[in-house]
Amino acid sequence: MQTHEIRRRFLDHFVKAGHTEVASASLILDDPNLLFVNAGMVQFKPYFLGQQTPPYVTATSVQKCVRTGDIENVGVTTRHNTFFQMAGNFSFGDYFKRGAIKHAWALLTNSVDDGGYGFDPERLWVTVYLDDDEAREIWKQEAGIPDERIQRRGMADNYWSMGIPGPCGPCSEIYYDRGPEYGAPGGPEADEDRYLEIWNLVFMQNERGDGIGKDNFEILGPLPKQNIDTGLGVERVAFLLQNVDNVYETDLVRPVITKAEELTGASYGVDNESDVRFRVIADHARTAVMLIADGVNPGNEGRGYVLRRLLRRIVRSAKLLGADQPSMSEFVTVVRDTMAPSYPVLATDFDRILGVAVGEESAFLRTLASGSKMFEAEADDVKAAGKKVFGGSEAFVLHDTYGFPIDLTLEMASEAGLTVDEDGFRSLMAEQRKRAKEDAQSRKHAHADLSIYKEFVDRGETEFTGFAELTTEATVLALISGGVRVPTATAGQEVEVILDRTPLYAEAGGQIADIGTITGPGLKIRVRDVQKIAKKVWVHKVTVEEGQITEGDAILAQVDPSWRSGATQGHSGTHMVHAALRQVLGPNTTQKGSLNKPGYLRFDFAAQNQLSAQQLADIEAVANEAVAANHTVNTFVTDLDKAKSMGAMALFGENYGDEVRVVEIGGRFSMELCGGTHVQSSAQIGQITLLGESSVGSGARRVEAFVGLDSYRYLAKERALLAGVATALKVPSEEVPGRVEQLVERLKVAEKELEQTKAAAVLAAAGSFVDKAERVGGLLLVAEAAPDGVGGGDLRTLATDIRGRFGTEPAVVVLLGNADGKVPFVVSANKAAQELGVKAGDLVAAFGPSIGGRGGGKPEMAQGSGSDAAGIPAALSAVRARVAEIAG
């Protein structure tokens, strides 16, 4: 049975049983505790937490999930993936244990002809929580499972929570016995390779308190409603029904391995080390493609860092298997072909996905080249010192800075005739993981208590009147202060106000919230901000300036008209810049985020390279030509599929409802899904002036612009500045660029001559330093303060020159400068001095504290900087003492 059919059968089974089919959420949701969606229940959390009333009592979905807790172990086991599909059925106060067990058993054991999976009931085992006698009896009654195939397990295995205070409860897991060839008898307790978990039924009935880990928390009591949350692993069911040995050999994963065999010349199934690399490619390629599809770009932190690691592990695994050419495009194409039937976006957005993945591959191949040079230099030093072990700290730097995994370093070391201090490396890795784990734990916190708003979320969406009017009569539904509902608020208080209707825009879609007023008889309130709760309830954050506001009051809510005018210019201007970018750079230039406010906009978009000055000029010209054309701005509401078929642009990672609002400017010039406020015609935007562009991470760039009067003010300021420069240079404005270029060139020549003169003066001092050399034991030592103003680069040149004048005689040169409030220093030891035991880096450790400095380098040369010039005499004394100690 193919994986796509397994998904479809699951959904059909529960839809026929009365469940509402819910589409998978994006892998990136706005949750402070999650990097990625990692379970099927995540999008339903507000219902389980009681923050919102669900629009249905039962639901079913197949959720995209990513778990990256231990990427290094991917492929080592054959049942885990970083990306997987979690099929689930959910009950919000409807059926409970008996219903969940009956539904699961029917789907698993019904024949294929009857819509089931056709599993042999005799090979299914279940586990229940230690004291869950109720679940045990239901399994016996409803499924006929005998006592010997029902095992009780503790809290760590069979009690579920989100890891933070909130809903929790016992669970019952369903396992399939793969047979004696896969392990020892005795059920899941004996061997979880032979007995494979395929479905977990969570009986969410209690509320947990604070605690750490899976089993170290207090159970506070029962929930108001008993809920069901289940998760069936689609990939695990697939490899069982497809009669293959593991998830990597299923119909959606094995094709990537086959492609890797073609590209590398290696064979899967020959040895375990190579098999792990094949599985890494197959797993990570799928995960990376799904993440990019949902809007993640490679970067140096958070989600972007995870994606970068995945892509780089693909590259190096292919390289270690024998690939001698870039191969990312081939893997991404296979993932598209296999996964698109369930996720059509992989086909429709393929060019963008491919561009991001291939761009990161190219960047990493360059990084690999740089890292290889570092490895070669360090390996040469190790061999020059007569050693055979490549240091663990150096291996860690290669991993942390260049993305070299330890197996790549091991292979390169072996080729160089060296071994690697793996214990030292793994110790440093363990320290890093511990810090990361502690940091992640510190960031976790209980979900914000939004129960105060639940009544209003259930009541329905706040009526937004701001598209048609700036002033609206409304009724005060609630006042909230410090998370507590209050009946009144008086002058001087800052509170939250919930109205039944409002013209004030709540921050969303990159547009910041409106400001305005709430007034009534004797009442004046300043609205500072407006935010949405659950995308339904407008919460006005206000300061009461005069009078008293009371729940139930009839008031007048008004938007600041000048603010709204500027805001609409900024938001419509953003759409114009987006359309212009796509015209100039191509249709794959997709939005990564935006911010617009009165008179200003910024727009982030997917791009691998810096924009040229000509591209920026073209983008600005296209946008302003559209402004001048005075296009009509049309808005209308339609269903999501129709909007997409019309070509409306949507924001990646955003979950849209069945009905969406489309903003169309100039026909197909610009058509986007957008809930923001806009001008009525493009000419009302006014002049758009691009301020420039910059990088905001790998594969993402940002443009910023002023619009309307702010654009005029900016250009007026620039014109005045140009006029001032022209006057100072005594040339017409149009000749300023050429004149400035001449001056810059003359300045460069003068600075170069000055540097040459300075360098000559520094080197002229070398002789006097040689004359001051002291004999310490069997070597010569120059330990002196350089003339004030000599910087680090000149010190290095001077030290190298002095050292060279001593020929083959053991010599050490230590120079400390005093420049711009800092104390640069250089330590140089020739080969003969090193053979006597002197290492430049060791001497830095001896004198560095005296000047508040630190630095490092190789045995022959080390340099750095301190901050305390008063410590120079003490530092030089420390050098002499340390050299004397070494020299005996």
Query: Could you give the residue ranges of the DSSP H alpha helices within 271-391?
Result: 272-293, 302-321, 328-339, 345-348, 350-384
797 and 861 Cβ atoms separated by less than 8 Å:
no
Nearest to 450 by CA among 53, 39, 25: 53
Annotated ligand binding at 571? The verdict is yes
d(CA 127, CA 208): 22
Annotated ligand binding at 168? The verdict is no
Beta bridge partners of 703: 603, 693
d(CA 48, CA 45): 5
**Residue carrying structure tokens 């989600």:** 303
The sheet carrying 591-597 orders its strands as 591-597, 600-606, 700-707, 688-695
For 668, the 3-state DSSP assignment is: coil
Q: Write out the two tokens for 429.
A: 């890795």
Cα angle 491-493-497, degrees, rounded to a multiple of 5: 105
Q: Write out the two tokens for 547.
A: 């009078």
Nearest to 402 by CA among 451, 444, 450, 368: 368
Nearest to 177 by CA among 155, 145, 152: 145
d(CA 170, CA 193): 23
Q: How many CA atoms lie within 13 A of 105 on its CB side?
A: 20
Annotated ligand binding at 575? The verdict is yes
Would you list the DSSP string of 255-273?
A: HHHHHHHHHH---TTS-HH
Q: Is the dihedral of CA 743, 748, 749, 753 positive or negative?
A: positive
d(CA 122, CA 137): 18
Phi, psi of 310 (to 5 degrees): -60, -50
d(CA 87, CA 7): 7
**Residue carrying structure tokens 């000419």:** 683
Annotated ligand binding at 445? The verdict is no
The binding site for Zn(2+) comprises 571, 575, 674, 678
The binding site comprises 571, 575, 674, 678
